Amino acid sequence: MNRVREAIADLAPGYFAAVMGTGIVSIGLHDLGIHSFSVVLMWLAGALYVVLWALYLWRAIAFGQNVVADLRDPEKAFAFFTVVAASGVLGVRFAREELMALAVPLFLLAGVIWVVFGYLLPWQVLMTRDGRPILARANGTWFIWAVASQSLAISMTQLHPPAGSEMAIWIGVLAVLAWSVGVVLYAAIAMLVLLRVVHYGVTPQQFDPAYWVAMGALAIAVVAGASIVGMPQTPIVDAVRPLIAATVVIFWVFCLWLIPLLVGAGVWRHGVHRVPLRYVPTLWSMVFPIGMFAVASESLARADRLPAAGAVGRVGLVIAVIVWAVVFVAMLHHAGRTVWPSRRAPSLSRADPSA
């Protein structure tokens, strides 16, 4: 039981990325018509969402000082935005099944947390003064702030009030606002992370899977943008529709360019510098971008009639399913070893104290 309490005390702030990764793979499968497996993953994502809320509430009650420390840590704080993105992704998947009684509360929760975290967390992080430069601690998790904004934009596009109604107008405003904020945040964070790399460098140990979010944040901007382009007519949507339609193509192409760079960085980290390849929670931050890129490719193919993007998306989805399965099994193995630790080592220790 002590190992379980230690695991809860040290629970990674970004573990809701497991819901994001599972949910986006489910959405990709649904969009390609692979319904049965997609539904299984949808309910699995829902179960993970409930379990993680229980674990995080346990941590907040029993280890509140650890949560506060994470909220003040520039290297960890932005990972809390995975709660927003997970709520949005899961809500979108429920909306695909027309389970709006489940989807709408998730969208509302995502919006409330996005507003609260969007103002409080960055202020808390940027005002931190503990003797270490903030810029030197910028990393891939900072992009999750932009992901959260885009997930809210997609959530708004799933609501379908009567065309021309006042509610439709405000939903259009909120969707465009969240998409625009996400794009600006991405540009600002990308510059900060690039400055960190130029001025302070990144060691192989520091270049963890969370840097894949740099690609995933653009991919979800493609999906959000394509969804806004397909929204019914409202004044603000009509005003930005041509701009967004052109912009998402550029974003998708840049995502495509980033993938070999990120794969090469992985080879540099694990192949050249021999950093052990083992399960860490940030692996879910790699699953989500791969799945999101696949969904983004399919969305772009439908919105702009680009069959090549659709073909890339189908290949990307196969890769996303494989990566998801590997990481999910590794997570189950890790959880099993935490709850039921091997007793071999203690028995050897008792037999030979010098061992």
Gyration radius from the chain CA atoms = 21
**Per-residue pLDDT, 122:** 87
107: tokens are 């969208």
* Angle at CA of residue 53, ends 17 and 107, nearest 5°: 70
From residue 24, alpha-carbon distances to 154, 235, 324, 348, 349 in Å are 12, 30, 10, 44, 45
**Per-residue pLDDT, 1:** 63
Evaluate if residue 289 carries a pLDDT over 60: yes
With bands split at pLDDT 50, 70 and 90, how would you rate the model's confidence at 125?
confident
The highest-confidence range among 119-123, 201-205, 244-248, 287-291, by mean pLDDT, is 287-291
Please give the DSSP secondary-structure letter assigned to residue 99. Answer: -
With bands split at pLDDT 50, 70 and 90, how would you rate the model's confidence at 352?
very low
Evaluate if residue 303 carries a pLDDT over 60: yes
Evaluate if residue 78 carries a pLDDT over 60: yes
Residues 6+ apart with CB under 8 A from 344: none
Evaluate if residue 88 carries a pLDDT over 60: yes
Average pLDDT (232-245) is 91
Residues 6+ apart with CB under 8 A from 164: 233, 234
Give the integer Cα–Cα distance in Å for 103 and 92. Answer: 7
Evaluate if residue 267 carries a pLDDT over 80: yes
Share of the chain above pLDDT 90, in %: 77
* Number of Cα atoms under 13 Å in the Cβ half of residue 135: 12
Average pLDDT (148-169) is 89
With bands split at pLDDT 50, 70 and 90, how would you rate the model's confidence at 342?
low
Average pLDDT (233-256) is 93
pTM: predicted TM-score of the whole model, two decimal places: 0.92
Average pLDDT (270-277) is 93
**Domains contained in the chain, CATH given:** 2-339 (1.50.10.150)
Contact 89, 23 (CB under 8 A): yes
**Per-residue pLDDT, 148:** 97
Evaluate if residue 348 carries a pLDDT over 60: no
With bands split at pLDDT 50, 70 and 90, how would you rate the model's confidence at 129?
low
**Per-residue pLDDT, 307:** 85
**Per-residue pLDDT, 343:** 55
Q: Which residue is it, tokens 């650890």?
A: 66
- How much is the mean pLDDT over the chain? 91
**Per-residue pLDDT, 306:** 81
190: tokens are 């990308």
With bands split at pLDDT 50, 70 and 90, how would you rate the model's confidence at 346?
very low
With bands split at pLDDT 50, 70 and 90, how would you rate the model's confidence at 237?
very high
